[in-house]
Amino acid sequence: MISAGDFRNGVTLEIDGQVVQVIEFQHVKPGKGAAFVRTKLKNVINGGVVERTFRPTEKFPQARIDRVDMQYLYADGDLYNFMNMDNYEQLAISSDIIGDALKFVKENELCKVCSYNGSVFSVEPPLFVELEVTETEPGFKGDTATGASKPATVETGATVSVPLFVEIGDKIKIDTRTGEYLSRV
């Protein structure tokens, strides 16, 4: 059990039958009345964000989220197939659970599959990926002084904004959280 006074960012709890993660918290001590904890909570199952206040003495059970490293194998229609690298069991996850999580992930890359009580609710891609540019317009000499960018399509089909000097065939490093170009490889 975790009391509201011990909340920290990233803590996962069960509140009113919902599995939530603390995004922000603030201890408030008004001049009049009792202190309280103001929080911003994200429902880890459906992604909804809610703001709530608690007394510092309120206690909640900590939710146990399992994060397992699995290799992304292939997509088959609406199902994405993963393999557990420890016991070689395969798992098929539907596209509505995955959403946009795999738009920068190639086949055979490792991802974290998150589950609560045995039911999968999300897939976390690696933080950084290296992908090859398959389509982009050519940059012109002398256009680099302004820091301009152009759209480029990578081998997974996703579109990224890249500097003008990036050409077809270049390998680039991408941050999967923001979808931003980081560097050439």
Give the residue numbers spanning the domain of 76. Answer: 65-124
For residue 38, pLDDT over 90 is answered with yes
Quote the radius of gyration of the chain (alpha carbons, Å).
21
Residue 47: CATH number of its domain? 2.30.30.30
Please return the burial class of 152, using the count of CB atoms within 10 Å of its CB with bins 0-12, 13-18 and 19+.
buried
Same domain, 83 and 43: no
- Single pTM value for the model: 0.70
Q: State the total domains in the chain.
A: 3
Residue 179: CATH number of its domain? 2.40.50.140
Same domain, 119 and 152: no
Residues 6+ apart with CB under 8 A from 97: 120, 121, 122, 123
pLDDT at 143: 56
Same domain, 54 and 92: no
Same domain, 133 and 104: no
Please return the burial class of 43, using the count of CB atoms within 10 Å of its CB with bins 0-12, 13-18 and 19+.
middle
- Of 17, 38, 60, which residue sits at a domain end? 60
Average pLDDT over residues 43-72: 88
pLDDT digits (tens, 9 = 90+) for 108-138: 889 988 888 878 888 888 889 899 999 988 8
